Each structure stands twice: as C-alpha cells, then as structure tokens.
Amino acid sequence: MELHDILKRDINVLVFDQYGTVVDMQAGLTDAVAPFLKDKGWDGEAHRFVTWWRRTHFENSMIDALCDRGHTPYRQIGHRAVSNVMDRSGISYSQNDVQWLVSEIEKLKPFPDVVDALGQLREAGYKLAILSNGDRDMLEAAKPHIGFPFDATISVQEAGYFKPHWKTYAKAEELLGEERTSILFVANHAFDCIGAKAFGMRTAFIDRRKRPFGHEPQQPDIIVADFQELTDALI
C-alpha cells in the first residue's frame, strides 16, 4: 500500500501550525516593519530585521519552556524579543512601538494556496484545527485575517508550554478527542514536525523554502511544497 493511501485510511484530523505555515509571517512582518524602520533611520534590510526578531523570539520561547517555571504569554515573549533586537540595532523606540510591532502578527494573511486547499480538505471530510504558540486572544484576533473557519483553534496556553514540548501535542489530542495516530500535524518548521512526531502524531512538512529537513530520527511522513500538494496527496 502506498504511503498516501495509508494516510488517507488513517487520518481523520489535520492540525496546522499557524505562524509561518498557514500565514506568511516573514513577508507580512517585513511589509509592516519596512516603513517603520525607514522612519527610524535604520538603513538595514527589513527582512533581516524580521528574521532576527523571529529567531530571538523562538530562542526565548524555548528558554521559557525549558526553565519550566510557568508559561510566559507569547505576546510578552514577543515584546521582549523585538525590544532586544531594536536595542542591538541601535533603534530608539517607545513601548507603544513595541506593542504595535507585535500586534502586526495578528493581521498576517495566509499564503495564497492555503484557503482553497483547506476548503477541499474539508469537503473531503477531514476535521481541520490550529495548534499555535500564539496566545488565545491573538489567535482569535487573527481569524478574520485568515478568512477560513477552522473546526478548532488551540493555543499552547492550554498546555502551559510552547511547542515542541510534548504536552502541547497531548493537549491538542485531548481537546480534539482523537487518537494521536489519527492526527496529521502540518508545519513549515522542522522543530514542530519533530515534536509532533516524537509524541506519536503523523506529520507533514511544508517545504516552501526548499531546505533539507535534517537527519533527525523523527522524519515527516510526507514532504510537500505547499498546501495544494498536501491536499492532492490526501484526497
């Protein structure tokens, strides 16, 4: 039996990462910060600033999970990260600037292929959900900008840890009422696929950036270029 046929047989629910998988975080934030940085007189490239910001945020969220001293909200991690990047860039800023920059995450648009593909998956009978590191209220604010009604939107606040901590995937399994082996977790990030696979979910890696997944033992069940290729494999 082909792998695609096995996935069709076993999978009932698709669970998606939101930031960078459903919505185009890099391009969206670059568009938002470019005029801001220009007004501040910073002569660097906006997309590099965004990459630096996102990497700092990711590092700080992993530290938060590993310290295991209580979950820090995504927004608070974001405020610290973007402040740190502006400090290191020599940019003068106010707390209003920081709050505005992080709030732009709530307005990010989906990749062009996402909404149509999700509609096809729903018509095929799959249940569709989000599992995101974002705060509950941030995910709620993002819904109109995504423009697709998922069956469930789950924040890692429910588990009290950032992905890829195993408890985040366990909480999703609990809230969705599905066995982990019936869930296909979909992400554009290797770390997220690794976490879900280590927990026992099936995984799909969206390889938009054409980068090697790596040699970790938790290899994805399927690697696709975008949501439409994923949909074609599942219906």
205's enclosing H/E stretch is strand 202-206
CATH of the domain at 200: 3.40.50.1000
Considering the domain architecture, whether residues 50 and 159 belong to the same structural domain is answered as: no
- Residues in CB range of 224: below 8 A, 6 or more apart: 204, 205, 206, 207, 230, 233
Quote the distance between the C-alpha of residue 68 and its chain's center. Answer: 21
Looking at 65, 83, 105, the residue that finishes a domain is 105
Q: Count of alpha carbons within 13 Å of 114, Cβ hemisphere only?
A: 26
Mean pLDDT of the region 209-216: 91
User: Token match 């938060």: residue?
Assistant: 64
CATH of the domain at 85: 1.10.150.240
Whether this model's pTM surpasses 0.85: yes
Show the domain range for 67. 26-105
19 pLDDT band (50/70/90 cuts)?
very high
Considering the domain architecture, whether residues 12 and 33 belong to the same structural domain is answered as: no
Looking at 79, 105, 131, the residue that finishes a domain is 105
Residue 51: burial class (beta carbons within 10 Å; 0-12, 13-18, 19+): middle
Give the tens place of pLDDT for each residue, 84-136. Answer: 999 999 999 999 999 999 999 999 999 999 999 999 999 999 999 999 999 99
Q: What are phi and psi of 162, to 5 degrees?
A: -85, 150
185's enclosing H/E stretch is strand 183-187
Looking at 105, 137, 163, the residue that finishes a domain is 105
Q: Is the pLDDT of residue 1 over 70?
A: no
